[in-house]
Amino acid sequence: MLKKMRRIGIAIDMTPMVDVAFLLLIFFMCTTQFKPPEKDKITLPDSNSPAKSPESDIITIAVTAPKPENNFQSQVRVVYRQGGQEVDRLIAPESVKMDLGPVLSTARAANPKSRVLVKMDRGAAFGVMADMMSAFQESNATRFNVQTNLMKGGGAFGGTNPPPTK
Let me know how long the chain is. 166
**Under the phi-then-psi rule, with left for phi > 0, alpha for psi from -120 to 50, and beta for the rest, what region is 101?**
alpha
Angle at which helix 126-138 crosses helix 96-110, to 10 degrees, equals 50
| Domains of the chain as residue ranges with CATH | 57-141 (3.30.420)
Out of 14-28, 76-90, 95-109, 146-160, pick the least confident: 146-160
pLDDT digit string (tens) for 97-149? 888 888 888 888 888 888 888 888 888 888 888 888 888 888 887 788 888 88
Is the pTM higher than 0.75? The answer reads no
| % of the chain surpassing 90 pLDDT | 9
Q: Whole-angstrom Cα distance, residue 31 to residue 33?
A: 7
Task: Report the distance separating Cα 78 and Cα 95, nearest Å.
Answer: 13
CA separation for the pair 124, 44 (Å, rounded): 10
Please state the φ and ψ torsions of residue 49, each to the nearest 5 degrees.
-80, 125
Distance CA 72, CA 158 (A): 33
Chain-wide mean pLDDT for the chain? 80
What is the C-alpha separation between 120 and 127, in angstroms, rounded?
12
Q: Say whether 69 sits in a helix, a strand or coil.
A: helix
